[in-house]
């Protein structure tokens, strides 16, 4: 007897005004889709630092740190797999010894923007190229 009353209450709870309940569920789902597609999300990408435009008489001994963390912001619906992040340091002003230079970032997508680079600069240790000295003698 009690079981029948409980089953009847559950049926009333679920099926009474069922069309309105279904409509409200569909509207809330569509609203959730709309909000989630427009939400900007942040992504972290780790990338090795390259040194470009190194003077011919210098060789890079060490880059500290070798990797930097790049934080990107974009729509969650965009695929992060398609994005390529390149981090580099312009080495045209390198001198022998310890150099601290800012890291630059290039991404292949206009759907994302760079929020931050951590660390913003790297330390590059260089030494004179010995083959250059032998050629000049």
Judge if 64 and 129 occupy the same domain. Answer: yes
Judge if 26 and 67 occupy the same domain. Answer: no
Q: Which residue has the higher pLDDT, 39 or 59?
A: 59
Q: Which residue has the higher pLDDT, 45 or 78?
A: 45
Domain range for 126 is 40-136
Judge if 22 and 81 occupy the same domain. Answer: no
Does pLDDT of 73 surpass 50? Answer: yes
pLDDT tens-digit series, residues 88-132:
999 888 888 999 999 999 988 777 889 999 999 999 999 888 764
Contacts of 72 (CB under 8 A, 6+ apart): 42, 43, 44, 45, 83, 85, 107, 112, 113, 114, 115
Segment 46-70 shows an average pLDDT of 90
CATH number of the domain encompassing residue 61: 2.170.120.30
Within 13 Å of residue 74, how many CA atoms lie on the same side as its CB?
18
Judge if 9 and 53 occupy the same domain. Answer: no
Q: Is the pTM of this model over 0.85?
A: no
Whether 121 contacts 131, CB under 8 Å: no
């Amino acid at each position: 007897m009690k079981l029948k009353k409980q089953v009847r209450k559950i049926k009333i709870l679920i099926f009474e005004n069922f069309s309105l309940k279904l409509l409200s569920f569909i509207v809330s789902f569509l609203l959730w889709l709309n909000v989630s597609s427009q939400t900007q999300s942040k992504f972290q990408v780790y990338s090795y630092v390259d040194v470009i435009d190194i003077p011919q008489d210098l060789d890079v001994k060490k880059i500290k740190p070798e990797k930097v963390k790049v934080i990107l912001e974009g729509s969650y619906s965009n695929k992060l797999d398609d994005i390529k992040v390149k981090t580099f340091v312009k080495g045209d002003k390198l001198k022998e010894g310890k150099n601290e230079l800012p890291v630059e970032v290039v991404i292949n997508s206009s759907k994302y923007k760079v929020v931050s680079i951590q660390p913003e600069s790297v330390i590059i240790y260089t030494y004179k190229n010995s083959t250059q000295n032998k050629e000049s003698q």
